[in-house]
Structure 1
Amino acid sequence: MVELQFGAECTIDTLIELPNTATNPGQFDYAKFLKTKGIAYEATLSNLDDVNCRKTDGILHYIFQFRMQLLSYIDHHISEDAAVWVRALVLGDDSGIDDTTIDLFQRWGLSHLLAISGLHVGLVISMLYFIFIKMNVTTKETAHWIMMLGLPVYAILAGGEPSVWRACLMTLLVIVIMKLKWRINTTDVISMVFLLLILVNNTIIYHVGFQFSFSVTFGLLLSRRVIARDESRIRQLLWISFVAQMTILPLQFYYFYTFQPLSLLLNVIIVPYFTLFVIPTMFILLITSPISLLQSFFDHSFVTIHSIFINFLEIIDHYFNYPFVIGPLSVLAILMYYLTFIRFMQFIERKKQATAFYYGFLLVVILVSDASRPYFSPWGSVTMLDVGQGDAFVIEMPYRKGVIMIDAGATFSFNDQKATNSVFKQVIKPFLHAKGISSIDTIFISHEDTDHMGSIPFILHDFTVKSIIISDFYDQGNLPVSNSKINLYRVKRGDTIKMKNLVFHVLSPTNDKSSPNENSLVLYTELGGKKWLFTGDISKDEEAEIIHTYPNLTVDVLKIAHHGSQTSSDKQMLDQLKPDIGLISVGKNNTYGHPAREVIQLLESHDMSILRTDRHGAVQYHFKANKGTFFQVLP
């Protein structure tokens, strides 16, 4: 086996598989993402010896090899705190920036600052112009040729992101047009680059960075007269920030479901900070790295100032983190938004502020109206999320009269056995945001096992939760609500919880069984014309108690207890309850063997329709009044 090289022809001895697809609404779809890059299959290697490649002498290999050497050089000659930012902002490798900082920038719509963009390319061009022309190193003609040859190389070194190629190709076209003395305006140039990139790679149009980069650039070009006529540099920055944010707002809601209103002002402060200090300092650190004294000075200065900036951003995040969560805009709302925004900017350009104000007000009406759709919808839903080996149910009442969760499981780390935030970040949070949900009325926690409550701390951190309901025998030690304003209620058998026109009856537990599973909350409710029973992880003994205490109890939808374990789902219980639908929340290829074959056979013998997350993904029941339909994410 030879060393892997860019452009080499390789033979791989492995199985070709279909990539994983999203199993929950709102979840990142890896398979769809790969398709946008022209990739339909994936291969998982267990050993690099299974790869055999023929060497290549292509120039791209040497460029990428130089990139790897440069990354290694940065790590060895610049301090660790500064090196991660040099790698990210000079060569487009943000893998060294910690997840907390990345999440912080994402929450405030500042992710564009962590990626190589037209701003970086503009600074590179400015530096080259200053070195070659202002310092009389070369003639202007020679400098142009150096830029034309050097910019594509830098685009590859910087990771080849669409925003970098856009800026580099626009600069190259402008230079070529100047040499040919053609009269072509900037709007035509960006259109030519847009078409060129699509012709080279037609899947690039699906790239989020491509869409954001061209949208912002086009919006700023159309608004250049409004921006340029303002003599105040501060107001120009405000205009640039405003136009950029308003241009990508529908895209931001479409992909991320949220928007931080204060990010408009925050960008006015932070973009100049990155433009005038951070990005230039990154290039200076790289250039001065061979000179230890200069490098040490700039290194220490950057780390000191940038740590203050990060602390400032964390303070802002702590006290002013109030995002708008409305889910993706409808196609009609997006169309109306852009038509209205264009008219708004046209009247601003004509200095007809009064008319522009009315169009600005109409923009707000469009956004608010679209965000208010759930509050006028007679449809509700019950969703069994696919969280792997765990439970998480979300109930949305019609007209958004209530949002209720029953359990919120998580995976755990094998190192310390503590719950991780992966299920929350990848499944629960995207689903809630995609639904435009930022506030949860009530969370029922059946019991204290990680696969049922592990994501609760993360939900409490990112969402407003009004109340939590647990059993009388729940061990509260792992529930972080002691110092919060969340109402915590304990319930037992016979208690009734009323939530407007929805009523939950607690059927278990009645006494302490000294086991979290056996102490699980069992909830009965009637919703969407069906009778539901949520059973947590109770065993056959608790099932026997329930049917003995409630001999006339029947249900339509039964949440199969303990993920289909053979310790639950007693035949006598099924004989009495007579459920039509069995819901099993279970992890794919789990090590517990859930659901047990005996349980599945028993359910089938009772003519039940079985819906399980490992095969069907998330399962949703959409209802209106007393009629509804079950849907599954996977076919």
Structure 2
Amino acid sequence: MIGFFMAVGITENQLTTATVKGSRTEVVKVYPDVLNINGDRFNLVAISSATHRKAVYYGQFKSSDQKQQLLASTKPVLVKMIGDFGSFSVATNVNQFDVGHYYHHQKIAQVFTASNIVSIIPKTQLSMVDRIHVVRSLFNRYCQKLPNVLRMYAMGLISGTRQNDFFNEMTGVKQLGLLHAFSISGMHVTYFLIIINQLMNLVGLGKFKQAFIELICLVGYSVFAGASAGVLRAVMMAAIGIINKLFKCHLTQLDLWSLTLIINLFLYPEAMLLMGVQLSYALSFGLIVSTNLSYVKQTVLLNLLTVPILLFHIYEWHFLSVVVNLIVLPLFGKAIFPLVFVGLGLGLLNPDFAAPVEFVLKLFNDALNLIGALPGMIVFGKPCLLVVLIMLLLTLLLILKTGRVKAITALISVYLAAFWWIHFPIKGEVTMFDVGQGDSFLIRKPFNRSVTLIDTGGRVQFGQEDWQRGTLNYQATRIAINYLKSIGISRIDNLCVSHQDADHCGDLPAYISEMKIKRIIIPLGMDKNTSFMARISDRDASTKVIPVNDEMKVRELPFLILHPYSSGRGENHDSMVLSCQLGGLRWLFTGDLDRQGELDTLNRHPGLSTDVLKVGHHGSRTASDPRFISQLHPKIALISAGRNNRYHHPNQETLVTLAQAHISVANTQTMGMVRYIYCGNKGHFESVQGGNEGKMK
């Protein structure tokens, strides 16, 4: 589940480290139902014609005709493309979603980055698997004609397909932990088998023929439902159950679960590291061992069983999810599933006939979204693996009624201790996120007394035609925001925006959506910039927007404001410059301030010096004037710039200036996220990818 949510936002930098030279030609069979298209970019998993192993294929359409040709097809096509194989990029930020690990757990180790699509040819001879994919494609194509909510429910519950807008439209499902209801699992397989059994009972087949047909249909349904690791668990357990019943092996449900786990470990051992698979096995095991409990007790305890897994992977949990699951799960079986099938049938006659079903489903979905938006989302943070295992063990003891009072006391104590340890750390930090070509810094004081963010990062969008534009995915969601939640932060006291450029504030809407923000602090005059103000138009009414210059002091802001002096529009020369002292070091953050602005700042503050300098404009030669560097006399320079960026930042001239001043450089291009962890007046630097941090200590 979380894999899909993150994977839809995969960028080229995440997928591959290869430089595309166009030296290899690949011809791969592409199933339209597994092809993910977002704007002018595509990615899919297919079997390599060279290695005969699964690989991720990523590329960019050169024309709208190429895109439409793939979108229009419901049959498998043979796509000939030119490009190169490369390895997945490693995660360069702490607790960042690691796309390489995600695919590696599914035995996919390489990515092919296509520089050009040469041809797209429909496949003429189709295998049985091909035909199942055709049926799935036709089903999804039919669902596109249905009303919006019915479309998402039908595709999610029946074919296991979630399109790019799924999580935007169904926020309540995500926040209330109901994604398991949309992940093809035991419940879906049970309904599928019930339908098959009813049909075969009408025909009057013998038990051996019936069992054989059920097994064949299960294999077919696993392909139709997307053949994910979670589907594999449900289908294998159902298949073993059919064989057990046919040959009267007298295996218990726990025996079936254990055999399924053994087979899963043999076939896809690393799939057990995926959150969806962990939830699938945990919930199915919990159902088996809690059969003697009442429905209410069983649901509550099963929800508690999922909490440690959710906290380890996504760091937050809504306390209303227990109540909602109590009410909603029976509705899925008794009302939602049948209603979706009714809507599908009515839609066959006329899409307009499905309007009453759409009304009910929309009412239901809006209610979930409304409940999900209520207070109750607890950003817990990421407990360590040992703590998670203890939580799971104690929850299982509760289900098994073993030392219940002691188990409850111990479980509550573990949760409270873990929460306290995460939310009230004795150490503070200054963190430079690796956001590619952009800036984003976190300044967090010990015990979380103050949380400040300087810039958010963001992608610069150049002119694109309509067909090239896709769903906007903010990288901050899987990088900086993910990290903040993992360390238990759900509110930002001060969000300082150095200036208007998208690579500094483009991801601001993601923070407004995901975090509580007390103050947004901007350079004086930027509040008159209509394009920037549109970016923050959805902010909470309690969030204050404070334009500042160097003569102003903002209460509870742990910085001195050194620039700008006058009102501007938030351009580079208007950049906000901030200074502070933390962990025994003096820090200076300069945004994209140009050389003239640097010299003006020196004239305005003649005694200014620093230990750590955030190099202006990503190391461009338009900043870092030698006179500015000489007077500041920093020991360490921080540079945040994208790998292989089109601007060639940092500029060699800037690097020479820093080298001549004997300044150690920490660059996100080579070191990834860089953190300064401190306690009192002592601290140390550390980075995700190593590099030259040893020189910085």
Instruction: Name the TM-score class by shorter chain.
Output: 0.7 to 0.9
Matched, 1:600 2:658: no
Which is further off, 572-581 or 374-383? 374-383
What do residues 188-235 of structure 1 show as CA deviations (whole Å, max 9, x unaligned)? 1100011112212333222322211111111121111123xxxxxxxx
Q: Which residue of 2 aligns with 1:442?
A: 494
Task: Give the CA deviation at 1:145.
Answer: 2.8
Quick one: which amino acid aligns to residue 531 of structure 1?
R
Contact map agreement 1:622 1:629 (CA 8 A) in 2: yes
Task: Give the CA deviation at 1:382.
Answer: 0.7
Q: Distance in 1 between matches of 2:300 and 2:515?
A: 27
What do residues 406-443 of structure 1 show as CA deviations (whole Å, max 9, x unaligned)? 12232254469999551332322212111111011222
Matched, 1:339 2:339: no
Matched, 1:260 2:318: yes
Q: Distance in 2 between matches of 1:2 and 1:75?
A: 29
Task: Give the CA deviation at 1:384.
Answer: 0.9
Which is further off, 23-32 or 408-417? 408-417
Q: Distance in 1 between matches of 2:381 and 2:308?
A: 10
CA gap 1:24/1:35 in 2 versus in 1, 3 angstroms: same
Which is further off, 103-112 or 57-66? 57-66
Q: Which residue of 1 aligns with 2:615?
A: 560
CA gap 1:561/1:80 in 2 versus in 1, 3 angstroms: closer
Q: Distance in 1 between matches of 2:418 and 2:442?
A: 22
Contact map agreement 2:170 2:369 (CA 8 A) in 1: no
Matched, 1:271 2:319: no
Task: Give the CA deviation at 1:322.
Answer: 2.9
Q: Structure 2: which 5+ runs fail to align? A: 1-25, 32-45, 51-80, 691-697
CA gap 1:287/1:192 in 2 versus in 1, 3 angstroms: farther
Q: Which residue of 2 aligns with 1:208?
A: 275
* Partner-residue secondary structure (3-state), 1:213: helix
CA gap 1:515/1:276 in 2 versus in 1, 3 angstroms: closer
Q: Distance in 2 between matches of 1:481 and 1:103?
A: 16
Structure 1 vs Structure 2: percent identity of aligned residues? 26
Task: Give the CA deviation at 1:381.
Answer: 0.9
Q: Which residue of 2 aligns with 1:584?
A: 639
Matched, 1:221 2:288: yes
CA RMSD between the two structures: 3.1
What do residues 440-499 of structure 1 show as CA deviations (whole Å, max 9, x unaligned)? 122222223332223333323321222233333333541448872224444332545564
Matched, 1:92 2:160: yes
Matched, 1:171 2:229: no
One of 398, 405, 421 as aligned partner of 2:453:
405
Task: Give the CA deviation at 1:124.
Answer: 1.2
CA gap 1:56/1:366 in 2 versus in 1, 3 angstroms: farther
* Partner-residue secondary structure (3-state), 2:230: helix
Q: Which residue of 1 aligns with 2:29?
A: 4
Task: Give the CA deviation at 1:503.
Answer: 4.1
What do residues 113-136 of structure 1 show as CA deviations (whole Å, max 9, x unaligned)? 222111111111122223323x46
Task: Give the CA deviation at 1:530.
Answer: 0.8
Alignment of 1:188-207 (within 5 A): 188-207=255-274
CA gap 1:141/1:289 in 2 versus in 1, 3 angstroms: farther
Q: Which residue of 2 aligns with 1:230?
A: none
What do residues 293-320 of structure 1 show as CA deviations (whole Å, max 9, x unaligned)? 7x875x33321211111221222233x1
Task: Give the CA deviation at 1:340.
Answer: 2.1
Q: Structure 1: which 5+ runs fail to align? A: 228-235
Contact map agreement 1:8 1:55 (CA 8 A) in 2: no
Contact map agreement 1:2 1:52 (CA 8 A) in 2: no
Contact map agreement 1:440 1:465 (CA 8 A) in 2: yes
Matched, 1:42 2:111: yes
Contact map agreement 1:448 1:475 (CA 8 A) in 2: no
Q: Which residue of 1 aligns with 2:436?
A: 388
Quick one: which amino acid aligns to residue 337 of structure 1?
M
Matched, 1:432 2:484: yes
Q: Which residue of 1 aligns with 2:42?
A: none
* Partner-residue secondary structure (3-state), 2:49: strand
Task: Give the CA deviation at 1:270.
Answer: 2.1
Quick one: which amino acid aligns to residue 372 of structure 2?
D
Contact map agreement 2:619 2:649 (CA 8 A) in 1: yes
One of 113, 116, 119 as aligned partner of 2:184:
116
Quick one: which amino acid aligns to residue 486 of structure 1?
T
Q: Which residue of 1 aligns with 2:564?
A: 509
Q: Which residue of 2 aligns with 1:527?
A: 582
Q: Which residue of 2 aligns with 1:138?
A: 205
Q: Distance in 2 between matches of 1:152 and 1:415?
A: 46
Q: Distance in 1 between matches of 2:284 and 2:269?
A: 20
Q: Distance in 2 between matches of 1:61 and 1:8?
A: 14
Contact map agreement 2:637 2:664 (CA 8 A) in 1: yes
Task: Give the CA deviation at 1:578.
Answer: 0.9
Q: Which residue of 2 aligns with 1:30?
A: 99
CA gap 1:53/1:598 in 2 versus in 1, 3 angstroms: farther
One of 468, 473, 486 as aligned partner of 2:543:
486
Task: Give the CA deviation at 1:289.
Answer: 6.8
Which is further off, 212-221 or 201-210? 201-210
Q: Distance in 2 between matches of 1:554 and 1:527?
A: 14
Quick one: which amino acid aligns to residue 548 of structure 1?
N
Alignment of 1:233-312 (within 5 A): 236=295, 238-283=296-341, 292=349, 297=353, 299-312=354-367
Q: Distance in 2 between matches of 1:117 and 1:200?
A: 18
CA gap 1:82/1:461 in 2 versus in 1, 3 angstroms: closer
Task: Give the CA deviation at 1:344.
Answer: 2.3
CA gap 1:215/1:523 in 2 versus in 1, 3 angstroms: same
Which is further off, 55-64 or 452-461? 55-64
Contact map agreement 1:5 1:61 (CA 8 A) in 2: no
Q: Which residue of 2 aligns with 1:455?
A: 507
* Partner-residue secondary structure (3-state), 1:149: helix
TM-score if structure 2 supplies the norm length? 0.81
Q: Distance in 1 between matches of 2:664 and 2:198?
A: 72
Quick one: which amino acid aligns to residue 440 of structure 1?
I
Q: Which residue of 2 aligns with 1:158?
A: 225
Contact map agreement 1:531 1:555 (CA 8 A) in 2: yes
Q: Distance in 1 between matches of 2:461 and 2:474?
A: 10
Q: How many residue pairs were aligned? A: 612
CA gap 1:54/1:130 in 2 versus in 1, 3 angstroms: closer
Q: Distance in 2 between matches of 1:484 and 1:289?
A: 42
TM-score if structure 1 supplies the norm length? 0.88
Q: Distance in 1 between matches of 2:571 and 2:164?
A: 40
Quick one: which amino acid aligns to residue 485 of structure 1?
S
Task: Give the CA deviation at 1:262.
Answer: 0.3
Matched, 1:106 2:158: no
Matched, 1:126 2:126: no
* Partner-residue secondary structure (3-state), 1:225: coil
Q: Which residue of 2 aligns with 1:474?
A: 526
Contact map agreement 1:492 1:508 (CA 8 A) in 2: yes
* Partner-residue secondary structure (3-state), 2:510: helix
* Partner-residue secondary structure (3-state), 2:431: strand
What do residues 494-543 of structure 1 show as CA deviations (whole Å, max 9, x unaligned)? 545564xx842222222346663222221111111111011112122221
CA gap 1:59/1:216 in 2 versus in 1, 3 angstroms: same
Q: Which residue of 2 aligns with 1:330?
A: 384
CA gap 1:471/1:49 in 2 versus in 1, 3 angstroms: closer
